[in-house]
Structure 1
């Protein structure tokens, strides 16, 4: 298996086995010990912080399911475009849970060392989630279906 194929397989395993199935015990096989996770303006370092971020996603969306829509890999870089479907069962930024099913989209870029993920840059549609739970954003029309 080439590194490009191995990188794509690692990305798929991260979503299917770790995020969807909760198998964080597999993270040492997929991620370096000193992984750097860039999320918005935050930067987290190390495997423990990476796992903690995954646990936060699981706590916030217990029934989450990620679908990897696209994976690209080239050299020591990779990228994934994903869709997550989950039920809003906990408060988000102080907004009470709605019990509604949410759909979130994200794009993540990866840098690999060997066949393990060493660095991650995450961009998710946070505005879309807020609109789906009914947050009114000045200057934007209400999201269709937000009143359900």
Structure 2
């Protein structure tokens, strides 16, 4: 299911595919989003903006599972072609790394925790100079 998430949702940019992949009470925890605790509808809306703004391609670099938890280490590449958190498209290429942990329930994704190099992304966009 986690591999399908990255192939079908992220790389194919089909955010609506999560409806069949996630439980009805799915929760997403991501410090990059508006809240660290989002339900499925809000997570879809905010992640749609990311997919449209960067058209990312994710590569799973490592995947481990134990019990109902699946951890994935990934890299991504994309181009800033749309508005992201109020910032207009820069046309700049971006790349980075991240980590996500998913809790699965009944063959579906029930919860996720995300961490990306947000500082590195903002530097690549020219939004901050460190």
Same fold, judged at TM 0.5 (above): yes
CA contact (8 A) 2:50 2:84 kept: no
Q: Aligned-pair distance for 1:25?
A: 3.6
| Structure of larger gyration radius | 1
Corresponding residue for 1:119? 111
Calculate the TM-score normalised by the size of structure 1.
0.75
What is the CA RMSD across the aligned residues, in angstroms?
Answer: 1.9
Corresponding residue for 2:46? 53
Where do 5+ consecutive residues of structure 1 fail to align? Answer: 1-9, 138-148
CA contact (8 A) 1:35 1:50 kept: no
CA 1:92–1:22 in structure 2 vs 1: closer, same or farther (change >3 Å)?
Answer: closer
Where do 5+ consecutive residues of structure 2 fail to align? Answer: none
CA contact (8 A) 2:52 2:81 kept: no
Corresponding residue for 1:80? 72
Calculate the TM-score normalised by the size of structure 2.
0.84
Q: Which 4+ stretches in 1 moved above 2 angstroms?
A: 22-26, 89-98
Give 1:1-148 correspondences, 5 Å limit.
10-40=1-31, 42-45=36-39, 47-61=40-54, 63-90=55-82, 92=84, 97-134=89-126, 135-137=128-130
Q: 2:28 is paired with a residue of what secondary structure?
A: strand
Corresponding residue for 1:5? none
CA contact (8 A) 1:19 1:54 kept: no
